[in-house]
Amino acid sequence: MKRLIAPSILAADFNNLGNAIQIINESEADFVHCDVMDGLFVPNISFGIPVVKQVSKIAKKPLDVHLMIVNPDKYIVPFKEAGASVITVHYETCDHLHRTIGHIKEQGIKASVCLNPHTPVSVLEDIIIELDMVLLMSVNPGFGGQKFIENTYKKVVDLRAMIDNKNPDCLIEVDGGVNYETGKSLFDKGANVLVAGSFVFGSNNPKETIAKLKSV
Ligand code: DX5
Ligand code: ZN
């Protein structure tokens, strides 16, 4: 099973963002995870289209853009044009999720849906065949550096069963509180992509941390 790493630049030093992208470029990371927050869906504001566009100019890994925003439909084309390879929208922000997923795929990029910690994986039963990836939040979205929510393990197991049954190519990504310990259990239970922010950029050697996380 695929084991991939998506470092989140939310935890990078924004005064040296280019340096953080360089580290990711030279590492075994598979994606650059970009956390976009609007201060409405989540209680924090991070960065948006202009920053993603600059990141894409120097990033050698595909951009995995996590939209924690209301009305994501409005921003699919701008983020695609800014360089996104994968766009993740939150289930909780989409009244017409099937249509939104269609819009993302029409742009020729990968479509992913994110579930908050309180949203059961069962809500994906009738959309899973359309998805390239599902992102499970293992913290409440809005901030880096939070404690991992243990119930996420059960959600990975449930989602793995659904995916194996209905759409085996779909990836399972997990976001929040990832470290060597939680990361190993997540991979062992069937996750494919681990997002890690503070654990990577708060470490002395981010490149080594990425490599070790990949092979826990
Ligand atoms: C939280 C973001 C995460 C965050 C993870 O809202 O979606 O991607 O950066 O941060 P850590 O790895 O520090 O928990
Ligand atoms: Zn994220």
The predicted-structure confidence for 160-198, as pLDDT tens digits, reads as follows: 999 999 999 999 999 999 999 999 999 999 999 999 999
35 noted as active-site residue: yes
pLDDT attached to residue 27: 98
* The dihedral formed by the CA atoms of 44, 49, 53 and 54, expressed in degrees to the nearest 10: -50
For ligand 1, whether the C-beta of 197 sits within 6 Å is yes
Question: Relative to the alpha carbon of 194, which ligand is closest?
Answer: 1
State the pLDDT at residue 32: 99
Among 13, 91, 82, CA closest to 48: 82
CA pair distance 45, 147, nearest whole angstrom: 20
Residue 188 annotated as catalytic: no
Residue 43's pLDDT is: 98
Q: How many residues appear in the chain?
A: 216
Mean pLDDT of the chain: 98
Distance 43 CA to ligand 2 centre (A): 14
Beta-carbon neighbour count of residue 157 at 10 Å? 13
**Distance of CA 55 to CAs 18, 51, 158, 172, 208, Å?**
8, 6, 35, 24, 22
Give the 3-state secondary structure percentages of the chain, helix then strand then coil, rounded to 5.
Answer: 45, 20, 35
Where residue 130 falls among pLDDT bands split at 50, 70, 90?
Answer: very high
For the CA of 116, the nearest ligand: 1
Is the CB of 35 inside a 6 Å radius of any atom of ligand 1? yes
pLDDT of residue 58: 98
Average pLDDT of 15-38? 98
**CA distance linking residue 94 with residue 159, whole number of Å:** 20
What is the model's pLDDT at position 139?
98
Q: What proportion of the chain, given as a percentage, has pLDDT over 90?
A: 100
Tell me which residue of 148, 154, 149, 204 sits closest to 178, measured CA to CA.
148
* Cα-based distances in Å from 61 to 88, 111, 112, 138, 190: 17, 17, 17, 24, 23
Would you place residue 154 in the very low, low, confident or very high pLDDT band (cuts 50, 70, 90)? Answer: very high
Given the residues 35, 38, 64, 132, the one annotated as active site: 35
Entry pTM = 0.98
Catalytic residue among 38, 64, 132, 175: 175
Averaged pLDDT for residues 25-51: 98
63, 39 contact by CB (below 8 A): no
